[in-house]
Each structure stands twice: as structure tokens, then as C-alpha cells.
A and B are shown apart, each in its own frame.
Chain A
Amino acid sequence: MFTPPPTNGVVPSVPFVYLDSAASSQTPESVLAAMDAYYRECRSNVHRGMYAVSEEATKRYEDARAKVAAFINADSDEVVFTRGTTESLNLLARSLGGLLGPGDEVLLSAMEHHANLIPWQQIAKQRGYSLKFIPLDSEGLLDMAAAEKLITPRTKIVSVIHASNALGSIVPVKELFALAKKVGATTVLDAAQSVGHILVDVRDIDCDFMAAGAHKMYGPTGIGLLYGKRQRLETLEPMLFGGDMVIEVKRDDATFTDVPWRFEAGTQNIAGAIGFGAACDFITGIGLDNIRAHERELAGYAIEQLLATGVIVHGTKNVDKRVGAISFTLPGVHVHDMATILAREGVCIRGGHHCVMPLMRDMGLPGTSRASLGMYSTKEEIDALIRAVTKAKQIFS
């Protein structure tokens, strides 16, 4: 079902142990086939052509939208295709932040990825609203008591990460957003690390908006989604303008088309969207429950084995409250050195600040080493990780 690189690319004899799915996942054959089929069977633009091939391309593109929508329990016209989570969050920050002013507050968590921090931060400079941050508890979980105090009538937007890419913590967003709703705040969910790992049901969570990407859930790069409740999308200002999102254009003004196409200016990543739909089929075919059960158990094993080597494992050890992104540090071994030594053993992890510099600063660390699981990760691969970490420890002892 997958054909990942057979070797680690550095030394031909060393096998490829990919523990960096939180950075990007491997791509199943079915997803590659769906994208390839677009290019070979119905290569044309969508929504415009009056010939069969264009109609076929349009059908596949819109079917993909329906699949993605069903995957998150939304309606098709509530799903906008974007370049990825980051673009979706930028659009929201511009459009929603653009309506705020001095005295208003946007509430984030202390563990936001730069994609859900910097856009809000930069628009705040223009609009004059304040950013507030919900702290974490000693386990790296969101401090819900603190959250309750921070949500006040001044809070206009609550935008949080669903699953931390650095600590793995799952945020109880349904409960958090219920608190936000009481003060009439708009709720935004950054689901980049949760889709494909745990259930993300936008109706159940009842978020106003959600952003996610395909490439961390076995889909291609360069495509993602913005979900918004229909009435919220209706009043959202587009960020990108051009062809395909207009009804009538004069020289001095234009009228925009319906939601969601209003937010899809220009030719989209058609193959990417089709691949995204195929990735949803792939996950549904295996069963998200099964994926979650597998990753949960493997995360438990990985944490236990890592602790046995003497490294510090960050975040909660409770596998019910976390996903399989596992950060660890070994005092005396810089994260870059750990990553390089592991790479030479064929083990691919990530070392650095993981685009959560403020969180790293809070933790007093320049960065961490992070091993992250995908549905294809195995116990043998964790064992290879442990052997490599042990070797790194020996080199630096």
C-alpha cells in the first residue's frame, strides 16, 4: 500500500525508519494513482470546459471536496480548498482579525504552531487588538481552569491547536469552545496534527472554523482545507482575488460567487485536491479507530522505551491525552547531533524548535528531538530508534 524510499538515502545498506510523520507523511499508492489518473485521463481545467474531459475533471475535483467534507462531518459547500493549514489560518486572521480593534482579545494557547500565532500577531499590529495565551499545566496539557478565567466578554476569537506537534497534547476543544460560545467568541480549530490521527468532527466540536492540510494525513503536499459554518463563510472576506471566484466583473468592481468557490481564486491544485479526497478514502478504508488504537499503543511503547534509555520525554505520558508526536531531550546531546546520529542509523526524526519557538522558550530549551508516528509505524521501528538513541548516548558519554 506504500512504497516509501527503501533506504535511508545516506548509506544504501541502512533501512529507512521514518519517524517524522508529523512533519509530513508517506503517500499511499491509491493517492498517487488518483493524482496520476487526473494527469493522464482527464487533464484539463475544472468548472469551465464544456467538453467531457473537463466535466470529468470537475466531477473528480468536486467529489474530492465531498469526501473531505464527509471526513470531517461537514457539508461540501462548507469546505474550501486552500494550499494548506497555514494559508487557511492566514485567511482567517486577515478576515476575522480585520474586524477587531483596540480592547478586543484573541485567545490562543501557549503551544501554538507559528502558523496559528504569527498571522494573528501581525494583524494585531495593524488592528490594535491584544493576544492572550492559555497556559499549560505541568504535563503539557491545556490548563482549562486558566482558560475559563481568560475567556471574558473581551474575547472575540478563540483559536487553538487541536493536537500539539511538539508535545503531542490533545486539547479538549469541545469543552473549550463551549466556554468561548458563552461570551460569543468565534472559534477556530488548527487541526493540522489531529486529522488522520484522532476523530475530528466539526459538528461535534462545534467550531466556527477549522484549518487542516492533506500532507500529514497521507495526502499530497500543497493542498489543505478551510472549514467554516455556512453562515460564517458567507460573511468572511476573501484573501485572494481573481478568476473563478467572481460572477460579474466590471473595470471598477466585481461581484463574488457563492461559498465555497468564492475563496478559490485561480486554478487550484486540482490533482492535490483529488489526492486529498483519496487520502480520506484511504483512512476511512482502514478505519480511523484502528489507526488511533495502533498509534496509541505504539506511543505508549515508545515512551516507555525512551524513558528506559534515560532521555527526558516531554509532555504527558498518558496516551489517552496525546497523539504520537513524542518530544525528548538528552542533556549533553544537542538536538542536531541527536538527529544527525540517528539519521546515520537510518532513523528519521526531527530536531529543533518545531515551529513553536515561544513554547520552547517557556520550556527553557533550544529545541527537542521529536519522533512522530504514522499508521505505518511499527514496534520494530521504535526498537531501531531506541538502539540509535543509545548509540548517541554512548558517543557523548
Chain B
Amino acid sequence: MEDELYKENIMDHYKHPRNAGVMAGATFSRRELNASCGDELEFFVLLDEAGKVSKVSFNGQGCAISQSATSMLTEKVEGMTIDELKKLLPEDVFTMLGVPVDTTRIRCALLGFKALKGGLEVYLQK
């Protein structure tokens, strides 16, 4: 039976995550935990003087959905301005994944997104 959710690009990002690793000297970072399974993830962002994302990475372990969605997210936000980061919505993550995500897996798909937005919010409050 055709399984969209585990289609090639998702499995590719899971097996070969982009921008994986801990970043020293990040402008902001944040750790998030998925309470339902214990998956955790830390998202790092480095902003340049113009306030654009010059470097991004993530570190963590988890399911194929959380890891691949976060990997894709790092590619998506590279070069974004703070304003563009602020405007990011969960819907954008689902569009990026390109497949319907089961209700029970939404938390997985948005783990990286949650870390990014959480870190951004804390940074902007400073």
C-alpha cells in the first residue's frame, strides 16, 4: 500500500539530516521535548548583522517525522529575516512536508518548529 508519509524525501532527510549538529556561538537556541514520546531536539540559529539567518542547525533524536521535518525546516529558514521567521506558521511546515500528517503525529512534525519559534520569542524579548 502506498505510504505517502514515509515517501522518499522524508526518508532521505531522516537518514541524511541536513544541518545536523550542535552550534557553538548561536544567536539563539532552544530545546524542546515531545511529552508523548520523550523525543528531544535543540534548534540553533545564527543571525548576521542584517538580522538574517546565516547559519542554522539542530541536534536531537527522534522519529522519522520529527527529524525529517526539522531537517527540512533548517533548509527552509536559511537566509530568512527575523520578520519572515516571525511569520512562519505550522501550516508552512505541513506544506513543506508535502504530505498529510496524522493528527497524532502533528506534535512530531512541529517539534523543530516549536523549538525555533520558542527560541526566537525568547531572543526578541531581550
Contact = CB atoms under 8 A, between A and B. Distances in A.
A206 to B, nearest CB: 38
A340 B105 contact: yes
A194 B67 CA distance: 38
Nearest to B5: A340
B37 interface: yes
Given A334-B64, A336-B65, A337-B64, A395 B3 contact: yes
Nearest to A334: B63
Interface in A335-379: 335-337, 340-341, 343-345, 351-353, 357, 360, 366-367
B95 interface: no
Contacts of A179: none
User: Chain A: interface residue count, which band?
Assistant: 20 to 34
Nearest to B107: A336
Nearest to B7: A395
B3 A367 contact: no
B2 to A, nearest CB: 9
B102 A340 contact: yes
Nearest to A338: B63
Contacts of A334: 37, 39, 62-64
Contacts of A199: none
B82 interface: no
A24 B67 CA distance: 31
B6 A353 contact: no
A395 B6 contact: yes
B37 A353 contact: yes
A366 B34 CA distance: 11
22 contacts: A11-B1, A14-B1, A334-B62, A334-B64, A336-B37, A336-B39, A336-B63, A337-B6, A337-B64, A340-B5, A340-B102, A340-B104, A340-B105, A341-B3, A343-B102, A344-B1, A351-B37, A353-B38, A357-B38, A360-B38, A395-B6, A395-B11
Interface of A: 11, 14, 334-337, 340-341, 343-345, 351-353, 357, 360, 366-367, 395-396
Given A334-B37, A344-B5, A366-B37, 14 more contacts: A14-B1, A336-B37, A336-B65, A336-B105, A337-B6, A337-B65, A340-B104, A341-B3, A341-B6, A352-B36, A353-B37, A366-B61, A367-B38, A395-B6
